[in-house]
Homo-oligomer: A and B are copies of this chain.
Amino acid sequence: MQDTADDLRLRGKKIGFVPTMGYLHEGHLSLVDEARKRSDIVIMSVYVNPTQFGRGEDLDKYPRDISRDEKKAAERGVDYLFVPTDKEMYPEEHLSFVELDNVSHVLEGEFRPTHFKGVATIVAKLFNIVKPHVAVFGQKDAQQAFIIRKMARDLNFDVEIVVAPIVREEDGLALSSRNVYLSPEERNQATVLFRSLKLAESMVAGGETALSKVRSGMIQLISSESDGKMDYISFVDPACFGKIEETGSLTEVLALVAVRFGRTRLIDNMLLRVRDET
């Protein structure tokens, strides 16, 4: 893969990169479109990275279907599909990790303490292997996108990070490979994530500045209309991912939710426009 990337670069080609864990859905494929717009050659990786799964998480049962992925990627115009094995990615005792202070340990990082260490490390590895000019990530994993952008800047990776919007089902459920875990009943209830975010959007647009009140409204909605267990409902400054409780002088607030349905954990988020009082 490194030789191919070197060769493409020597020929003056601009490389766009879409790293995924496979089991491709329209969300992933929309990232391919974004990469295509910005590059000559689109490389997609499919790799379920073990170091970003915690003990007891769903590494073993994470859905995989590489022949379907190959077909979908080819149909969407991916030029190279990079599908390394664990042996190739971690051939010996692995000691070197990329870690981020602060932002790795809140929100998702609180519930999945080693998750972002694994994510930052595998993305650094993939950047060094695929040598992209541009890499595209999905806004669905908002904290991940923030961390990768920050890592790329801090460690001087010469890669433009593009974050593409969430793709949703018609009823608002954010696309996720993990949605296949849901029972029909859970699948119906799972729209409460999106609906709670829409509620937050309208409250903040309507002038609500106390985010604790917005959170209460969301909790009320989720608990009355589903059996989901909330891991967190949080609001952060999208510029630094610092938690906030008041809209203050911000023009935009990022609302994030994580809800469990049985053993399936879903996340979603929305950028809320704060009403301009002037």
Contact = CB atoms under 8 A, between A and B. Distances in A.
Interface of A: 2, 6, 9-10, 12, 92, 94-103, 120-121, 124-125, 128-129, 131, 150-151, 153-158
27 contacts: A2-B156, A2-B158, A9-B10, A10-B10, A92-B153, A95-B100, A95-B101, A95-B102, A95-B103, A95-B150, A95-B154, A96-B98, A96-B99, A96-B154, A96-B155, A97-B98, A97-B101, A98-B98, A99-B99, A121-B155, A124-B155, A125-B154, A125-B155, A128-B156, A128-B157, A129-B158, A131-B158
> How many protomers of this protein does the assembly include?
2
Nearest to A121: B155
Contacts of A158: 2, 6, 128-129, 131
Contact of A9 (B9, B99, B124, B153): B9
Contacts of A92: 153
Contacts of A101: 95, 97
